[in-house]
Amino acid sequence: MNTDLLVSNISKYITLEPQEQEYFVSLLQSKKIRKRGYLLQEGDICNTSTFVTKGCLRGFTVDTNGNEHILSFAPEGWWIADMYSYITQQPGTQIIEAIENTEVLQLSKTHQEILFQKVPKFERFFRILVEKSLVSHQQRLIETMSMSAEERYATFQKRYPLLEERLPQKHIAAYIGVTPEFFSKMRTNVLRKK
Amino acid sequence: MNTDLLVSNISKYITLEPQEQEYFVSLLQSKKIRKRGYLLQEGDICNTSTFVTKGCLRGFTVDTNGNEHILSFAPEGWWIADMYSYITQQPGTQIIEAIENTEVLQLSKTHQEILFQKVPKFERFFRILVEKSLVSHQQRLIETMSMSAEERYATFQKRYPLLEERLPQKHIAAYIGVTPEFFSKMRTNVLRKK
DNA sequence: CGCGACGTTGATTTGCCTCAACGATTGTGG
DNA sequence: CCACAATCGTTGAGGCAAATCAACGTCGCG
Q: What is the pLDDT of residues B48-91, one digit of tens each?
A: 999 999 999 999 999 999 999 999 999 999 999 999 999 999 99
Tell which CATH architecture fits domain A4-120: Sandwich (2.60)
Percent with pLDDT over 70 in chain A: 99
Distances A64 to A44, A54, B143, B157 between C-alpha atoms, Å: 18, 32, 11, 20
Record the pTM. 0.95
Q: What is the pLDDT of residues A78-103, one digit of tens each?
A: 999 999 999 999 999 999 999 999 99
Superfamily of domain B4-119 in CATH is Jelly Rolls (2.60.120.10)
In chain A, residues with a C-beta closer than 8 Å to the C-beta of B124 are: 116, 123
Q: Is the Cβ of A132 closer than 8 Å to some Cβ of chain B?
A: yes
Q: Is the Cβ of B146 closer than 8 Å to some Cβ of chain A?
A: yes
Higher pLDDT, A60 or B194: A60
Question: Which residues have C-beta within 8 Å of that of residue B74, sequence separation ≥ 6?
Answer: B50, B52, B56, B57, B58, B59, B80
The listed range with the strongest mean pLDDT (A137-141, A186-190, B32-36) is A137-141
| Residue A153 scores a pLDDT above 90 | yes
pLDDT of A146 reads 97
| Residue B172 scores a pLDDT above 80 | yes
Q: Round the average pLDDT of chain B to a whole number and report it.
A: 96
pLDDT of B163 reads 95
Distances A107 to A10, A39, A91 between C-alpha atoms, Å: 14, 13, 19
pLDDT of B194 reads 64
CA at B90, C1' at D8: how many angstroms apart?
35
> Could you say which of B84, B138, B146 has the minimum Cβ distance to residue A83?
B138
pLDDT of A192 reads 76
Domain ranges of chain A: 4-120
Listed as ranges, the nucleotides of chain C within 7 A of a protein C-beta are 6-11, 15-20
Q: Round the average pLDDT of chain A to a whole number and report it.
A: 96
> Could you say which of B71, B87, B141 has the minimum Cβ distance to residue A71?
B141
pLDDT of B93 reads 97
E strand or H helix at A91, and its extent?
none
Mean pLDDT of B138-150: 97
pLDDT of A194 reads 64
User: Where in B34-101 does DSSP place strands (E)?
Assistant: 38-40, 48-54, 56-62, 68-75, 79-80, 95-98
Strand D contacts (Cβ < 7 A) comprise A 65, 67, 148-150, 177-179, 181-182, 186; B 168-170, 180-181, 183-185, 187-188
pLDDT of A22 reads 97
Question: Which residues have C-beta within 8 Å of that of residue B59, sequence separation ≥ 6?
Answer: B40, B70, B71, B72, B73, B74, B80, B81, B82, B94, B95, B96
> Could you say which of B116, B124, B130 has the minimum Cβ distance to residue A134?
B130
Distance from the Cα of residue B28 to its chain's centroid: 18
| Residue A24 scores a pLDDT above 80 | yes
Q: What is the pLDDT of residues B84-120, one digit of tens each?
A: 999 999 999 999 999 999 999 999 999 999 999 999 9
Helices (H), chain A: 4-11, 18-26, 83-88, 109-118, 121-146, 149-159, 161-166, 169-176, 180-193
Residue with CA nearest C19 C1'?
B181
Q: How far is residue B129's CA from residue B10's CA, in Å, rounded to a whole number?
A: 10
Percent with pLDDT over 90 in chain B: 96
Q: Is the Cβ of A67 closer than 8 Å to some Cβ of chain B?
A: yes
A:119-178 Cβ neighbours of strand C under 7 Å: 168-170
First to last CA, chain B: 46
Which of A35-39, A61-65, B187-191 has the least mean pLDDT? Answer: B187-191
Give chain B's largest Cα–Cα span: 58
Q: How far is residue A81's CA from residue A72's CA, in Å, rounded to a whole number?
A: 10
Residue with CA nearest D11 C1'?
B185
Q: How far is residue A141's CA from residue B122's CA, in Å, rounded to a whole number?
A: 28
